[in-house]
A and B are shown apart, each in its own frame.
Chain A
Amino acid sequence: MQTVQTTGLASTSRKNRTRSGRLAALVPYAFVAAPLAYLGVFMFWPLGRQIWMSLTDTRLMNPTHGDFVGLENYRDLLTDPQFYTSLNVTILYTLWTVVLGVGLGTVAALAMDRPFKGRTIIRAILLFGWAVPNVAATLVWLWIFNGPSGVANEITEWLGLGRIQWLTSIQWALPSILAVTVWQVAPFVMLVMLAALQSVPEEVREACRIDGADGLNVFRNVTLPYIMPTMQLVSLLVAVWSIRRFEIIYLLTGGGPIGSTSTLVVQIRLTAFEDYELGLASAYGAVGLLLALLVALINYLFERRRAKVMSK
Chain B
Amino acid sequence: MKNAPLTAALRALLIVVLVTFAGFPIYWMASTALNVNAQLYNTGQVPWLQFGNLPELFRELVELPLLRWLFNTGLIAGGTTALSLTMGSILGYALSRFRFHGRGMIGFLMFMTQVIPEALLVVPLYAMFITMGLLNSLWGLVLANVGFSLPVAAFILKSAMDAIPYEIEESATIDNCPRVGILTFIILPLIAPSLAAAAVISFFAGWNEFLFAATFLMDRELWPTSVGLASFIGQYETPLSAVMGAALVFSLPAVAFFLLVQRKIVAGLTSGAVKG
Tier of interface size on chain B: 35 or more
Bound complex: CA A50 to CA B116 (Å): 11
B32 pairs with A140, CB closer than 8 A: yes
* Chain B binder among A67-75, A78-86, A122-130: A122-130
CB within 8 A of B22: which of A9, A28, A128? A128
Contact segment of A91-99, A141-149, A169-177: A141-149
Question: B220: CB under 8 A from chain A?
Answer: no
Across the interface, do B123 and A192 meet the contact criterion of CB distance under 8 Å? no
Bound Cα distance A230, B240 (Å): 41
Chain B residue with minimal CB distance to A130?
B258
Of the candidates A28, A64, A128, A289, the one whose C-beta lies within 8 Å of that of B116 is: A289
Residues of B close to A131: CB separation below 8 A: 251, 254-255, 258-259
A236 contacts B by Cβ under 8 Å: yes
Minimum CB distance partner of A244 in chain B: B117
Contact B98 A246 (CB under 8 A): no
B167 neighbours in A (Cβ, 8 Å): 5
* Alpha-carbon distance between A139 and B241 when the two chains are bound, in angstroms: 11
Please measure, in the bound complex, the distance between the C-alpha atom of A140 and the C-alpha atom of B29, giving whole angstroms.
Answer: 6
A-contacting 9-mer, from B49-57, B139-147, B186-194: B139-147
Q: Are A63 and B123 in contact (CB under 8 A)?
A: yes
Produce 1/0 per residue, A248-271, CB < 8 A to B.
Answer: 000100000000000001101100
Asked if B179 and A135 sit within 8 Å, CB to CB, the answer is no
Pairwise interchain contact B88-A46, C-beta atoms closer than 8 A: no
CB of A158 within 8 A of chain B? no
Establish whether residues B120 and A47, one from each chain, have CB atoms under 8 Å apart when the complex forms: yes
How many angstroms between the C-alpha atoms of A25 and B211 in the bound complex? Answer: 41
Within 8 A of A (CB), among B18-34: 18-19, 21-23, 25-26, 28-29, 32
> Roughly how many angstroms separate A28 CA and B93 CA in the complex, as a whole number?
9
- Which residues of A are found within 8 Å of B275, using beta-carbon distances? 1
Main secondary structure of the interface of A (DSSP, over half): helix
The CB with the most chain B CB atoms within 10 A, among A36, A45, A130, A131, is that of A131
Interface: B106 (CB within 8 A): yes
User: Least Cβ distance of B204 to chain A in Å?
Assistant: 8
Q: Do A135 and B226 have beta carbons less than 8 Å apart?
A: yes
A25 proximity list for chain B (CB < 8 A):
100
The reply to whether B229 and A139 contact each other, CB–CB distance below 8 Å, is yes
Q: Using Cβ atoms and an 8 Å threshold, which residues of chain B touch A293? A: 115
Q: Is A243 a contact of B117 with CB atoms below 8 Å?
A: yes
Please give me the residue from chain A that is nearest to B103 by CB atom: A28
B131 beta carbon closer than 8 Å to chain A: yes
Please tell me which one of the listed residues A3, A35, A60 contacts residue B90 in the complex, with CB atoms under 8 A apart.
Answer: A35
Q: Given A8-B166, A47-B124, A111-B18, check contact A64 B113 (CB 8 Å).
A: no
Which residues of A sit under 8 angstroms from B259, Cβ to Cβ?
Answer: 124, 127, 131
Given contacts A2-B99, A135-B229, 17 further A-B contacts (CB under 8 A): A25-B100, A31-B91, A35-B154, A38-B150, A39-B151, A47-B120, A112-B15, A126-B23, A127-B255, A136-B250, A138-B230, A183-B25, A236-B273, A237-B269, A244-B118, A265-B119, A293-B115
Cβ contacts A to B, 17 pairs, < 8 Å: A3-B162, A9-B99, A9-B166, A39-B110, A39-B113, A42-B143, A42-B144, A46-B125, A50-B121, A125-B23, A127-B259, A131-B259, A132-B255, A133-B226, A134-B208, A237-B273, A268-B120
**10 tightest A-B CB contacts, nearest first:** A5-B166, A46-B124, A31-B94, A28-B98, A10-B99, A131-B258, A136-B247, A133-B208, A35-B91, A285-B120
Task: List B residues at the A interface (Cβ < 8 Å).
Answer: 7, 11, 14-15, 18-19, 21-23, 25-26, 28-29, 32, 40-41, 44-45, 47, 87-88, 90-91, 93-100, 103, 106, 109-128, 130-131, 143-144, 146-147, 150-151, 154, 162, 165-167, 179, 204, 207-208, 210-211, 225-226, 229-230, 232-233, 240, 243-244, 247-248, 250-251, 254-255, 258-259, 262-263, 266-267, 269-270, 273-275
